[in-house]
């Protein structure tokens, strides 16, 4: 039902998981009727009335509530609401919201991702070992909101103030990270960049594409980028059946952005250099990455002809060869089709 323009009290309701799926919302501003105290139990009925013909009522029957980032068990807890209907954004727009649960444990939701997964990320602060334990890393901050300024989970943990004094989870970047990935689905692994403890600032980056668990390492001090099998020259770049050209494009874009932000000049002396597990060693990372991206774009857009088809048990692979033989990708035909369909949309 439409918002009541006469209401002087408005609350912000954040929807998670099944509630978000039912309402197709992650956030809603709800006017509270009248001036009398308004309980959580009454709020449930109000929300259901705003979303008829959905499964929200059934979802709320088994849901937990939090008020002002604190879990609440008493359904008769009263809500105060804001005195105006506007929403104040004192922090930058960001892809994440954090909820304190117990002691040094935090639940972070990536609430506006383009995949509509809204994954939960868990962080435990361990002062005794100067460590943040991060369980899963979400969708990488890819957001539907064009104005979001903070889309990196790491930037969120290091810069967004959460307590009364404005301190972040990793204030001053004084704590190291231990990251635990429960499994390799994309909504658990796409927030990608963490410093390796004891490595003099070397950064590990998740770069799915060649395989779902592909990693790259960047040494900012020496400006050396190590990318495993994500791309190389003059030998077949093989995408196995679990690989994804769609994910590969996203990873290459991320690496190109990283290199562009660290390249110091156009000459080899100060350029970021690319190092690969086959053939390519200490080559200009920006030039090689952009050239590989351009050629794979031509493959997906049917500007390159298939040079060979290989029948492998369970699927057909297609082989392409750039003129001169610099790039020679071999991938499942279905992966090329998926990338073509994704670009068409």
Residues 6+ apart with CB under 8 A from 303: none
- Write out pLDDT tens, residues 38-66: 887 888 888 889 998 888 888 777 666 76
pLDDT value for 83: 36
pLDDT value for 173: 86
pLDDT value for 86: 26
**pTM beyond cutoff 0.75:** no
Q: Which of 94, 22, 91 is nearest to 60 (CA)?
A: 22
- Could you say which residues of the chain have pLDDT below 50? 1-7, 82-92
pLDDT value for 89: 30
pLDDT value for 261: 84
- Write out pLDDT tens, residues 293-342: 999 999 999 999 999 999 987 899 999 999 999 999 999 999 999 999 98
What is the number of other CB atoms lying within 10 angstroms of the CB of residue 108? 24
Spans of all domains in the chain = 10-79, 90-191, 199-345
Query: Hey, what are 21's tokens?
Result: 């799926």
Give domain 10-79's CATH architecture. Answer: Roll (3.10)
């Amino acid at each position: 039902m439409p918002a009541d323009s006469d209401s002087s009290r408005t609350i912000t309701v954040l929807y998670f998981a099944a509630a978000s799926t039912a309402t197709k919302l992650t956030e809603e501003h709800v006017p509270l009727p009248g001036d009398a105290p308004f309980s959580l139990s009454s709020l449930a009925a109000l929300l259901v009335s705003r979303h008829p013909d959905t499964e929200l009522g059934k979802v709320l029957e088994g849901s937990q509530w939090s008020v002002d980032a604190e879990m609440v068990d008493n359904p008769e807890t009263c809500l105060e609401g804001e005195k105006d209907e506007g929403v104040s954004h004192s922090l930058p727009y960001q892809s994440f919201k954090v909820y304190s649960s117990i002691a040094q444990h935090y639940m972070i939701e990536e609430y506006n991702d383009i995949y509509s997964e809204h994954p939960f990320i868990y962080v435990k602060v361990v002062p005794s070992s100067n460590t943040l334990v991060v369980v899963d890393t979400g969708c990488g901050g890819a957001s539907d909101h064009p104005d979001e300024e903070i889309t990196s989970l790491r930037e969120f943990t290091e810069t967004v103030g959460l307590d009364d004094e404005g301190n972040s989870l990793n204030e001053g970047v004084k704590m190291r990270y231990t990251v635990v990935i429960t499994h390799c689905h994309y909504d658990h692994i796409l927030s990608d960049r963490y410093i390796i403890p004891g490595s003099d600032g070397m950064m590990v980056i998740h770069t799915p594409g060649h395989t779902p668990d592909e990693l790259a390492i960047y040494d900012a001090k020496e400006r050396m980028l190590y990318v495993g099998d994500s791309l190389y020259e003059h030998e077949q770049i093989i995408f196995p059946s679990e690989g994804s050209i769609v994910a590969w494009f996203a990873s290459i874009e991320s690496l190109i952005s990283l290199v562009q932000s660290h390249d110091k000049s156009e000459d080899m002396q100060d350029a970021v250099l690319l190092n690969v597990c086959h053939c390519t060693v200490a080559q200009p990372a920006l030039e090689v990455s952009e050239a590989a991206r351009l050629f794979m774009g031509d493959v997906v857009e049917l500007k390159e002809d298939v040079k060979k088809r290989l029948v492998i048990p369970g699927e057909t692979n297609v082989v392409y060869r750039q003129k001169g033989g610099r790039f020679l990708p071999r991938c499942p035909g279905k992966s090329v089709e998926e990338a073509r369909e994704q670009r068409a949309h």
